[in-house]
Chain A
Amino acid sequence: GIQVEQSPPDLILQEGANSTLRCNFSDSVNNLQWFHQNPWGQLINLFYIPSGTKQNGRLSATTVATERYSLLYISSSQTTDSGVYFCAVISSYNFNKFYFGSGTKLNVKP
């Protein structure tokens, strides 16, 4: 199966700071999504981004499929951004399985 690696594993920010989270994947993908898991365990969809760039408020994401990586940008971070960010992909060769990275745990301090 596809290997999905996220970095950094942990990140501590001061409120108002910017950050970049990275997701590397080992093979061709048809789907890539970024999720935010809040402290209650709920997975919130951030971006569906198999390629290209998207923006939603203070968040934006870029996927370069040919180079097998995706970036999630968080600008002007807020304490509510705290939680775990997951990247997940679907292989171009097996549509059944969604492969998750190990996540980036973000802690935004006031």
Chain B
Amino acid sequence: SAVISQKPSRDICQRGTSLTIQCQVDSQVTMMFWYRQQPGQSLTLIATANQGSEATYESGFVIDKFPISRPNLTFSTLTVSNMSPEDSSIYLCSVRDSVTEAFFGQGTRLTVV
């Protein structure tokens, strides 16, 4: 199983600012993903983080708002840009290899005031 360290675990941010969330995995993994979970809702996929190339975004999510980096097979960052209160959510990093078991980081609970 993969061990994922996600930082920060929580933050309170002012509207209009940006927050970068880090995801570090203890082993090389093929696929890394970023999810958003709005209050009381299920998880929604933001994007697939591709190593060495631009991330693949889901419908409704754009690179200018959620820039993602993945410099290697064990690390990725998600930035939430120009935040508004509607961005208050839990953001989760996830990893897996193809169709095998997926693992999640502990999540980042973001509150925008």
Contact with A along B25-62 (1 / 0, CB 8 A): 00000010100010001110100100000001000000
Contact with A along B87-98 (1 / 0, CB 8 A): 000101010101
A36 to B22, CA, bound (A): 23
Are A31 and B43 in contact, with the CB atoms below 8 A? no
A41 on interface, CB distance cutoff 8 Å: yes
Are B99 and A100 in contact, with the CB atoms below 8 A? no
**Contact partners of B96 in chain A: CB under 8 A:** 98
**Contact partners of A97 in chain B: CB under 8 A:** 45
**SS class, residues of chain A in contact with chain B:** strand
Are A41 and B101 in contact, with the CB atoms below 8 A? no
The size of the chain A interface, using a CB distance under 8 A, is 22
A76 on interface, CB distance cutoff 8 Å: no
A67 to B92, CA, bound (A): 31
**Contact partners of B41 in chain A: CB under 8 A:** 102
A residues with a Cβ closer than 8 A to B are 30-31, 33, 35, 40-43, 45, 48, 50, 86, 88, 90, 95-98, 100-103
B residues with a Cβ closer than 8 A to A are 1, 31, 33, 37, 41-43, 45, 48, 56, 90, 92, 94, 96, 98-104, 106-107, 109
13 pairs, A vs B, C-beta closer than 8 Å = A30-B99, A41-B106, A42-B106, A43-B107, A45-B102, A45-B103, A88-B43, A90-B99, A98-B94, A98-B96, A98-B102, A100-B42, A100-B43
